[in-house]
Amino acid sequence: MPATVKICGLSTADTLDAAIGGGASHVGFVFFAPSPRNLALEQAMALAARVPDRVARVGVFVDPDDTLIDAAVAAGRLDALQLHKTAPGRVAAIGARTRLETWAAVAIKTARDLDQVRGFAGAADRILYDAKTPEGATLPGGMGVRFDWALLDGFRHPLPWALSGGLDAGNVAEAIRRTGATLVDVSSGVERAPGTKDPAKIAAFLKAVHG
């Protein structure tokens, strides 16, 4: 069974339509002001209205407060919340309060980074394995960095999981084969410039996954 795909950081109607038309299972809307992919609530509302029910809308946050979550959930009609740099207890509290699916993003560079994954068992619904960004980076992801997929060899995943970090049309098939990922997540790998998605690259990525 082919993996499913989340196209993250969408901000225009044409790129959203390319993701949906190409068979993405999830679309990601970023709510983090420093990101070039950040959406205003009005943008999120307009984009969310274009998403059919068969495609899940995922809001992407970095240790958000309840006010931002509530506004984004309403505007983006969100089905799931992807939480970066958010402690397990906070992830659990957000999930309990919103009653939405929660994804805990865990930044990976070394085997030791996997130790924190077990802390999310019982707190999150899914783990998103992402690549750790360079020291001093202002963004927690979306920088085209990948981690060594061999780190996941033999790892006992405590939760359903997705693979992210440096994926593109050229390497995603190998990533899926190497890790067994059933859900992959791409952002910068389908962009022509930071924050600017490319419909042709989105189509190529989806084709690389689905064949």
**Residue pointed to by tokens 């070039």:** 36
**pTM (predicted TM-score):** 0.94
Mark whether 130 is an active-site residue: yes
Supply the pLDDT for residue 148. Answer: 94
Supply the pLDDT for residue 135. Answer: 60
Mark whether 115 is an active-site residue: no
Contacts of 157 (CB under 8 A, 6+ apart): 117, 127
Domain tally, the chain: 1
Burial string for 72-93 (b: 16+ CB within 10 Å, else e) reads bbebbbbbbbbbbebebebbbe
Of the candidates 8, 66, 153, 168, the residue annotated as catalytic is 8
Supply the pLDDT for residue 144. Answer: 65
Supply the pLDDT for residue 132. Answer: 83
Of the candidates 63, 125, 130, 168, the residue annotated as catalytic is 130
Distance CA 154, CA 150 (A): 9
- The residue segments making up the domain with residue 153 are 4-210
Mean pLDDT by 10 residues, the chain (211 residues): 92 98 98 96 98 98 98 98 97 98 96 95 97 65 77 96 96 96 96 96 97 80
Which CATH number do you get for residue 103?
Answer: 3.20.20.70
